[in-house]
A and B are shown apart, each in its own frame.
Chain A
């Protein structure tokens, strides 16, 4: 109330609202039940707006998160009272649960631990295998990530009504199949974890595909995916796979700013200025990488993380141990074969056995329909042919690549390569 103001903008840490919104929705969903997910979202939104309307006059409270929680909780109790009066049954139990939860709340540390558990349960609920995959991604971003429908639409280059509908359907499905908020166990847990890792990696890749200068929301996806990955990996149900995925994402995210130079041009991994790599993220990557070695199951995430670690572990591009990379790609082809992996493997083949061998490795891919629109296939072919001195064939390949969808920096990169052949 007073005006000895607490204008302490540093209390507004980055993404405070977004992250706390996710936690509050998770916390309230546990107490209200998944069938009242909408109500949880509504009151959390209300709390954030109240903060926006009050704090400019009163200053930021000492404990912004606590303030938000209190307001959201009171809004939930209010809403429950109204619904009970309107004849809705069973909601008053939710009010009791909210009050009980409060009475049982311990110190700050215990509360934060509890919130982490709630977030985790929420992620695993959103990743229920009964939901279609794109719904899992959207729902995770909405409820755990605190992204709005509009932001999700922007991030996935989709439109708002599509995403809104996807979310409505997903929530209905949660209600109808009575998906529980409790952490699953046994095989069910394993299945959900696998789904959650997949969702997180999809989220990350979507963000990673964003070009610099493009909507920041897309790049935020990488940060959110890393956050969720770490939440999962360091939780009571964390697995070596989860650590491997975090390592992989951290290594890749570390290179984000080095991918495009100051002139907006694409820079290949081997030409990147390594001093631009984010060393904190590289360190994070190695920490999780060492954790993922525990356990017996070798997952695709393990191998991909190992490849990324091999790149990240050398000071100079010419120090890359290509035979190791090649053997890792061989392994990846065994565990999780795909045309894209085969293409990447071919690049390693060129470094170890030469361009001729690499072209041979690419040959079966040319007929692959799934790579029909993938510009990297002809681009790699072009580069190999150029190395062998066949400028004309190389130029043809770069022209082909230019006909396929790619970003502006990629297009300019291909045009430079094409000019080099003429």
Chain B
């Protein structure tokens, strides 16, 4: 078993605010989590002590990571998150984490560092958020901004009332595009349609100039010793399972790798109960331990 740094601890709440309809951001004073968490990892939080209902912890993606702690962005969907939303500054919660395997940033970074590509375009990340799936992607966007990796952030929500983090993401330097199902902001439709459009432009070289197209023609003619899959764009996504399934298809059709963060009914969070299984090409894997981030090609979408 790999060496993990994780523990359970009582953590004080610094703030807990509703940022838009039913969406809350909770800041936690937790230097341990601030130092040891990576984008895409999650915590398993016990919302109340001394009660058996709710019984289990709630898994929540880590939204922001800084020296003094972390913050969480969550949507009230059930009794557990309802209780969480009523917590006040100074209240304590029992937090288990950081857990799981986060986004692989090294892979997109490496694109910029290989001699083969250094003379060509810079690597690029496309982040695709569905609803409150934006939570863990924000921490990733911050990390990518620090590494100066060009980031396009696609946000899909039901309606403009559900938009969060847009200004913050813009101030990180990310290009933000919005899709709403009701057309109340940005593109009317699904965020995966926005992604498809963006990838087409990337392929045509409209976004990044001519170099990528030129590179693809060299790839096709076998002048470069890499498969077409190994291009310089990486998709990172988190959102509802159906959206991720659609995204996986778009990524595959456009020959672009995608890392997806999955949600699942979960109990222990540490790989013991085998409850949060997801079907992959290599059999069942556990969202809590093998994920939550998976290569989209690994998943057998149903």
Q: Do A and B bind each other?
A: no
